[in-house]
Amino acid sequence: MIPRATWRLAARLAGFALAVTSCRHSASQARPPGPDAGAAQSPDGATPAAGDWRAQAAAIERAEEGRRPQGIQEAWLTATDVRVRRLATRALSRVVEAPLDTSVEAALLRGLGDEDREVTGWAAYGLGWACKGREEAHVMALAARAATLSDGLDAGMPRERGGRGIDGEGSVLRAIGRCGGALAEGVLTGYVTASSGEVEAEEAAYALGSVAGKHALGDETMGALLDRALGDATQPDVVAALFPIGRLEHVPDAWTARVVAAARAALRVSSPHEGFAIRALEKTGVFAISDLATAVSKPDLDPAARTDAARALGRLGLAGHEALAGALGRMLKDRAILEPAGLLRDGFNVLLAVAFALGQETPKSADVALRALATLPLPGRDDSPALAVRVVALRCAAAVALARAAYDAEPIAKCDPRADGATGQRARLAAIVEKPLVGERRKAFRALAESPHLAVREAALEAVALHPELEESGRALLVVALGTDKPGLVATAAQAIVQHPERVLTLAASERRAALDPRAPPPTSHPAMDLPLEVKAALLRALEHPWREDEVETRTAVLDALVAVGSPDARAAATRMCAEPNVTVREHAARALRALGTPEPACPQPLPSPASATAAAAPRKDADDGPPLAHPTRVIFDVSGAKLAVSFEPDLAPLAARRFVHLARTGFFRGVVVHRVVPGYVVQFGDPGGDGYGGSGALLPCETSPVAFDALDVGVALAGRDTGSSQLFVTLARYPKLDGDYARIGRAEGDWGAVAEGDVIVDVKVEE
């Protein structure tokens, strides 16, 4: 979420984090469908009558919103009205988790065989997400159903690439990929090899991407993918065959030549999926350097693919950096790219990606081009704030590369005209933390650790985990951060402790006494450690702080830190959180209890009290998020002068779409900063605090769907299941790894690829 804000230090300084946290990473236990105290009912307390479509739909939606599989009635899953079956199967697929109860599994398997392809698609989605412990059984059931769909034995919905409906066969194939394993790989390879249908082969390739994300692909699979990838590169299934190859750790030498050939063919044809070819090239290592450098400086290539190529070269060592230097020089031969009009287009983010990818291991051959960026003329008073954001960002990124860890170098000192500007401070910090924090460098670091800018302070806290030489100084910074009421500072400090608990522990008194006793045995490599009282007190205060409902990431990070340092209070805290309604909180609590020695801890969703069950059955109140959306609603965002739109669609995610339109109507987004831009990947905003850890104060249940995230699709940003609030993201390219993990809530319009981190939402208008 696109995790809202779990970025590492390099990501904070460079803005290139690609990791995401999905809705479905959870360990909650599902209960079988059927009536109980939590079953959804009509307003008068009675189960809706068969045939009463509206009442049944409302009851199903309440059961889904309550995240309770036992509230989904058997009668709904087998109703003669296909609309009821679709809604009920959708609800069940969204709330179940592994390990599956046998009756829940039976309900999904029954739905898998439904005559309606949309019901089939939802059932497959649920089975794919709840494969753990049942992988082979689920793959066999899914493969059998896929065979009947591809053989045309069903008279269900027609196939249509790019449609927004739930496609049965595509969902089944993607579910097979989620289950993973050798059997799944074999089934999917067969579809890539033998399928005469382009859509089938494309979906099978995307599904193999899930398999490739877990383990290396076999020779038969590699051969099938490359046979397909060397076909007509104008066809989506051909380019899609490169996607799983791009998810491998590396391409085996035996396949390198064919991968390079297929990727080159794909890049010769304009395609919205050029990034697949770039990411596959990267996995061939040094063999791809020349092609990647060409892609970076190729103006007619999709900007997202160019930024992918820049990042890839940045990860390929000195040779990759030399190639980047050459590509940057070629780009700057077109002086128009540095003119104000050029900087306000998406070419700006390509330049920024190149500067960041060069990092601080910069070859001398890049110096001339970098100086051109570092000395860009600063905008005047009459220029737009958007231009100033871009010029300062490029100046500071180039300055970091030129400085080569010299934090007091002139380019860094002059890159941001504001003495206390966040961009300049981040550049200075990036150079400071490249070397041990001692002497004057430590003083400079401490000054930035007290910056008024949250993002700078959070980056400094992350550096504490990487610099053991800070010792007491680093521990003091973490304690101070834990004592604030800023959710991002507290979460970042806690996460640093989780990564390196030894940074806050001290040598035990017994060990210190032994060190002074000549009769004591020699010290061990793992001496006993104590938890200082100030650290323990700071963690407990942070845990007890009245955080808002949607500040889940902060609370769970503090719990994880208590466990990491061995606090005696960790078990009681985990036990309390184990009984909370939010599944992500319970997941962390269960993990904490396991780490503390509790065998097979269970943190199921608490059963509702009679009073809460009655409340759940009552009509939903619309006061908090406004009335339900009856149709897609278009919202115009004025982002630093650029008019950009999002059409929020209620068909797949009615609660989230309603929430975001309501927030737009009430002015919530006015003045909010675009806090995260990963060039070529996503634009993310919606946190009033501007660091990615905040929201509107209220949580959203996940409304994920087995649909694709194409370029300019819009989704809900997350920090775990059911943690959405007010942050959303706009995708800038096709990233199949997002499919099914996030609620797709609409479609964006306009040049979102030209948005820069730090742009401000000046105004918002809802088209009624």
pLDDT tens track for 428-459: 999 999 999 999 999 999 999 999 999 999 99
In a domain, 654, yes or no: yes
Instruction: Provide the pLDDT for residue 180.
Output: 96
Instruction: Provide the pLDDT for residue 270.
Output: 84
Residue with the larger pLDDT of the pair 7 and 543: 543
The average confidence (pLDDT) of the chain is: 88
pLDDT in tens, 656-693: 999 999 999 999 999 999 999 999 999 999 999 999 99
Q: In the structure, what pLDDT confidence band is assigned to residue 315 with cuts at 50, 70 and 90? A: very high
The residues facing 731 across adjacent strands are: 682
Instruction: Provide the pLDDT for residue 85.
Output: 96
Beta strand pairing call for 642-648 and 676-678 = unpaired
In a domain, 514, yes or no: no
Nearest to 149 by CA among 77, 80, 70, 203: 203
Q: In the structure, what pLDDT confidence band is assigned to residue 100 with cuts at 50, 70 and 90? A: confident
Instruction: Provide the pLDDT for residue 46.
Output: 52
Note the pTM of the prediction, 2 decimals.
Answer: 0.90
pLDDT in tens, 365-415: 999 999 999 999 999 888 899 999 999 999 999 999 999 999 999 999 999
Judged against a pLDDT cut of 90, whether residue 12 lies above it is answered with no
**Coil, strand, or helix at residue 634?**
strand
* CATH number, position 658: 2.40.100.10
Judged against a pLDDT cut of 70, whether residue 639 lies above it is answered with yes
Instruction: Provide the pLDDT for residue 592.
Output: 96
Judged against a pLDDT cut of 70, whether residue 510 lies above it is answered with no
In a domain, 688, yes or no: yes
Write out the two tokens for 624.
Answer: 């908090």
Query: Of 108-112, 121-125, 255-259, 360-364, which range is least confident?
Result: 360-364
Q: In the structure, what pLDDT confidence band is assigned to residue 521 with cuts at 50, 70 and 90? A: confident
In a domain, 662, yes or no: yes
Judged against a pLDDT cut of 70, whether residue 575 lies above it is answered with yes
Q: In the structure, what pLDDT confidence band is assigned to residue 196 with cuts at 50, 70 and 90? A: low
Residue with the larger pLDDT of the pair 595 and 45: 595
Write out the two tokens for 57.
Answer: 């739909």
In a domain, 691, yes or no: yes
The percent of residues in the chain predicted with pLDDT above 90, rounded, is 75
Judged against a pLDDT cut of 70, whether residue 97 lies above it is answered with yes
Per-residue pLDDT, averaged over 576-602, amounts to 92
Residue with the larger pLDDT of the pair 127 and 69: 127
> Domain tally for the chain?
1
Bond before 99 cis per omega within 30 degrees = yes
Instruction: Provide the pLDDT for residue 620.
Output: 44
Instruction: Provide the pLDDT for residue 106.
Output: 95
Integer Cα distance of 475 and 468 in angstroms: 10
Judged against a pLDDT cut of 90, whether residue 561 lies above it is answered with yes
Residue with the larger pLDDT of the pair 612 and 607: 607
In a domain, 697, yes or no: yes
Write out the two tokens for 497.
Answer: 């402790």
Instruction: Provide the pLDDT for residue 165.
Output: 75
In a domain, 400, yes or no: no
Instruction: Provide the pLDDT for residue 4.
Output: 39
**Coil, strand, or helix at residue 547?**
coil
**Coil, strand, or helix at residue 119?**
helix
Per-residue pLDDT, averaged over 184-203, amounts to 90
Instruction: Provide the pLDDT for residue 160.
Output: 44
HSE value, Cβ hemisphere, 13 Å, CA-based, for 560: 23
Structural domain boundaries, residue 15: 9-23+622-766
Instruction: Provide the pLDDT for residue 159.
Output: 44
Per-residue pLDDT, averaged over 104-129, amounts to 95
Write out the two tokens for 741.
Answer: 């993990």
Judged against a pLDDT cut of 80, whether residue 609 lies above it is answered with no
Instruction: Provide the pLDDT for residue 267.
Output: 94
Q: How many CB atoms lie within 10 A of CB 278?
A: 30
pLDDT in tens, 264-295: 999 998 888 899 999 999 999 999 999 999 99
Q: Give residue 319's identity as a one-letter amino acid code.
A: A
CA distances from 82 to 117, 149, 483, 549, 613 (A): 10, 18, 54, 36, 27
The four Cα atoms 270, 275, 280, 285 give a dihedral, to 10 degrees, of 110
Judged against a pLDDT cut of 90, whether residue 241 lies above it is answered with yes
Judged against a pLDDT cut of 80, whether residue 523 lies above it is answered with no
Nearest to 733 by CA among 390, 278, 227: 278
In a domain, 681, yes or no: yes
